Structure formats: C-alpha cells, structure tokens
Structure 1
C-alpha cells in the first residue's frame, strides 16, 4: 500500500484519539463569541462604533484593536483609525446611507443625517425632552461663552443668584468645577463638560458660533441639538416664557432662581 495512504490512515486514527486543539478551545469556551478576524480593521472599527452609545476616541479604538488581536500595536494607530473612518464614510455616502461617522466631543460616533430627524421623531425614537428652565439655559450659555467663570461673575452678568441653577447644570453633567481663580478667596471656576459637547454635537468648544453671528429673532426658533445618550437629535424649543426642552439624559426642570441678597 502506498506510503501516502498509510500516513492518511495514521492521521485519521490519530485525530480520532486526540482532538484538534482548536476543537478543544471551542468546546471549553462554550458560548463565547468567535474571535474577530485578524486584520479586519474596517469591520472591527465599524462594529465598535455601531454598538457604542457615546463617542470613542481614536486612541481608545486603537487600544481595543490590539487587545482583540485584530492587528499589532505597530499598525493600530489613531491615524490608521481615522483613515478607516474616512473610507467608511465614503462607502456610506456612495451607498446612500442615512448615517455617517462624525467627530464629537473628542471622539467618533455614528450619527444619523439631519434630514432624517423628522422620520425618527415620528417613529418615536426620540425621548421626551428634559425641560430646562430658561434661567438654566441662560446660565449655561454664559458659562459656555465666558468659561472659566466664577459664580460671582456669573451672577453679576445675570443679575440674579445662580447657585441652584448651577447645581442643576452640574447634576445634568453639562457643567463642572474646572479649577479655582487666582484671586481673594480662590473661588471655584465653572466650565462646560464633554457631555455638553456631546449633547450639542460639538467637536470642541471652539465650534460654538461667535456671539456676533447669533441672530436675534423676534420669535425664538426651534433648534436641533445632538443627544449625548441617543443616536438621534433632541429638539431645543425656546418658548419665550419659562422653559426650553433639551434632552440631557435626565429628567426634571431647572431649579428656581432668586435675587442675590
């Protein structure tokens, strides 16, 4: 009998008594998910972005690629990640997809195109907007444009006490203490957060419109802002009276304000 046949028979006999290591691994792992195909940067990055509920920094994406064994550390760089994202966006545009990967709050996330906001609202995917008091919105605007700012300076601009309103904005993660002023008493300084950027769809605070560019309409318009915890948009609808609606991922209204004593 030819030698090759005996080798084959020997191999078959061997395999019957000693399972292949990969088969043992599959048996031991039980219901564990199969590993990501090595070198599939595009699929791995797309999967991360599609399942994340918040922006992911390029460095974080690169770190996950290495940990998952998709590619070695030498090739898993933020620059490589950004190149893959450009390719994905080009593919989405060519295919007429209703979403893109956008840079928000220092990271990347999948976002629907603005022209589909009406469809999403009708489908019921938008949560009921959280009602922020007009005082809270005014305070947030001052902090955003004048940060870092002390409470005393904030109250001198508004002409009213802002302690409770600032507390509410901090509870909503829109504002945080960013340091202390180098002046008598070293008062705390307020500034906006990454959650603020994510909520309003800003890559950085520099993307805020210049104050001279802001229109002053007779009637407050409906404005749309990106939601931090959803993939869609929330409606910011100034009413001209006491409250506006903006989805910050929480519920309730801003606290009442009082005149400084």
Structure 2
C-alpha cells in the first residue's frame, strides 16, 4: 500500500481541504496509517509539487491542491464570471473582527466611526467568514462575532497568527518621501504582504458605508 500515492489522489479529488484525521479515515480500519506517517506522506507530496503551477497548500481546515498565485490570473481566463469585488467597508469590518475578536457590531462601529451596514454583516455571515460565538452580557445582549476556518481557508492562512501585524500594516501605509516613487519590487512586496485582507474579490453591497 503506497500511502503517499493514496494521499495525493484523495487530496487531488477532494473539493475541500482535508485534515490528517480525515485522510486517516479514508483507509480501512485495520490498515490506517498513523498520523506521523500521513504527515510524512503529505510533506513528500508538497515537495513533489514544489515550483510547479499547482501546489499542495496547508490551510486552517487541512490540505488542498490549488493553482499557485502566479498562475491564478491565467486560470481565471477560463471562467466567464469575474471574481466578486468586496467594498472597502466590508473588508475593514472583516479586518476588525479578525484582529479584535470576539467583537460586537457596536464595537466595530466605534472603531470605524460609522454605522456598519446590515448588508455587510449578512454578507460575511453568508460567506461563512464570521460567526456568532456568544452574546455579550450587557443590556440587549449583542452578538459577539469571530472569524471562522472558512475565512482562514479563503485567505490561505493556517491560523490568525499569520495575519500581518498592525505595525506591518502601518509601515506599508507610510507616505513616501518627497519625489520618491515606489519600485516594482516595492509594489509586488506590498501586494504580497497585504493580500490576506486586501483581496480584490467581491460583492458591492448596497448602502455600505
């Protein structure tokens, strides 16, 4: 039984990320490899796809095959439908939840300084990027929102620890010195560093503020 080939085939055929436990459950009970053996198999498959247009990527929910970021613009030409484009207000709301969770809608509004549209919260819930984790014990018991594994998966993150720090974001937003123009390398690095929460995907929700 070639564990590596089985793991590769199963992950290739799956339409969602699979964890090591889920991979283990694929095997008959008496032939199930231990988690360590599966980790080795996954690592070997990852190495096989190194520097290829398709990669095996670790995300919060497990492992999945996907087109590399470099090839994504070319593959997108296969599809007539354009990627959704999210409003700045929606991305700001999502960022606040990711960094300050758990957080109430009122607390988000205090940070942003404007009312948060119901459409924004509904869109984030429908995308399953956020969820209600509890209710704050104050008058009205407002919902407390937190990010989900689907949020991490979408932005190719394995944990919240991979988000850029607030200091890194501030550094990226510093104004250039007089007469200084960003180089191509600067622009590319900024795109890489800010990608997790500045995807150019989306839905322009009505009445976003």
TM range, smaller chain: 0.7 to 0.9
Deviation for aligned residue 1:175 = 1.4
Deviations 1:210-232 (A, max 9, x none): 01001116699766868xxxxxx
Task: Find the aligned partners of 2:14 and 2:195 in 1 and give their Cα distance.
Answer: 19
| Equivalences for residues 15-94 of structure 1 within 5 A | 39-66=1-28, 72-73=31-32, 76-93=33-50
Q: Secondary structure at the match of 1:177?
A: strand
CA distance 1:143–1:99, shift in 2 (3 Å): same
Matched, 1:176 2:131: yes
Scaled by the length of structure 1, what TM-score is found? 0.64
| Equivalences for residues 152-191 of structure 1 within 5 A | 152-164=106-118, 165-191=120-146
Give the counterpart of 1:137 among 85, 88, 91: 91
Scaled by the length of structure 2, what TM-score is found? 0.79
The structure whose Rg is larger is: 1
Determine if contact 1:41/1:84 at 8 Å carries over to the other structure. yes
CA distance 1:173–1:158, shift in 2 (3 Å): same
Give the counterpart of 2:165 among 203, 210, 221: 210
Greater shift, 169-178 or 159-168, is seen at: 159-168
Q: Secondary structure at the match of 1:115?
A: coil
Q: Of the two structures, which has the highest relative contact order with CA contacts closer than 8 Å and spacing of 6 or more?
A: 2
Determine if contact 1:176/1:191 at 8 Å carries over to the other structure. yes
Deviations 1:35-77 (A, max 9, x none): xxxx22122111111112221111011011236xxx623xx22
Deviation for aligned residue 1:163 = 4.5
Task: Find the aligned partners of 2:35 and 2:82 in 1 and give their Cα distance.
Answer: 36
Gaps of 5+ in 2: 176-181
> Which residue pairs with 2:150 in the alignment?
195
Deviation for aligned residue 1:119 = 3.1
In the alignment of these two chains, the number of paired residues is 192
Task: Find the aligned partners of 2:37 and 2:79 in 1 and give their Cα distance.
Answer: 33
Deviation for aligned residue 1:107 = 0.3
Determine if contact 1:102/1:110 at 8 Å carries over to the other structure. yes
CA distance 1:134–1:91, shift in 2 (3 Å): closer
